[in-house]
Amino acid sequence: MPVINAMEAGGSNRCAFLDTIASSEIGASMLALTDNGYNVLVGSTPGNLLTFPSYVAHPNILNAKFDSTAAGRYQELHMNAVNYTKSLKLADFGPLSQDKIALEQIKECGALAHIDAGNFAQALALVAHIWASFPGAGYGQHENTVASLQAAYVAAGGTLAA
């Protein structure tokens, strides 16, 4: 579960969508082995956990293999984290801040209304370019299927449109 509560996030579907991103980007086993994914660095695996020790700021650690500074539950890039921390007036890169950054990214893609309405596939398509593990992201990394992500969303308490 994200740290942000459903009321602050704007509804339980939004929290379920955040859980879906984390499940896709981090995976259930690493979510369980870490601080719910909030301290995970890009390139981490269950057998080789790569984490960062402080939430004061995004760690800005480059993983040369992936040419990426992605970190946290939603694998935010350093540049994006810095920009969103300023624009959202966040104090740190802690769990609540990471949740707020991800929700802002979803909002900017125009996907919140689809999430609220339970139009999961439409919301996923609108944000796929942000998260490398989403279908159609095009980053050359493993992409999960819409069906597996929708199952994760429902398991996290998300509701689908009738």
Choose the catalytic residue: 8, 25, 108, 143. 25
Which residues sit opposite 45 in a β-bridge? 48
| pLDDT averaged per 10 residues, the chain (length 162) | 97 98 96 97 95 97 94 97 97 98 98 98 96 89 94 97 88
Q: What angle do helix axes 12-25 and 146-155 make, rounded to 10 degrees?
A: 130
What pLDDT score does 138 carry? 83
Per domain, the residue ranges of the chain are 6-155
What pLDDT score does 27 carry? 95
Burial (0-12, 13-18, 19+ Cβ within 10 Å), 161: exposed
Global pTM? 0.96
Other beta carbons within 10 Å of 152: 20
Q: Known catalytic residue: 104?
A: no
Please tell me the distance from the alpha carbon of residue 111 to that of residue 47, in angstroms, as a whole number.
34
For 88, the 3-state DSSP assignment is coil
What pLDDT score does 127 carry? 97
Enter the CATH code of domain 6-155: 1.10.530.10
Over residues 107-126, the pLDDT tens digits come to 999 999 999 999 999 999 99
Distant-in-sequence, close-in-space partners of 65: CB < 8 Å, separation ≥ 6 = 43
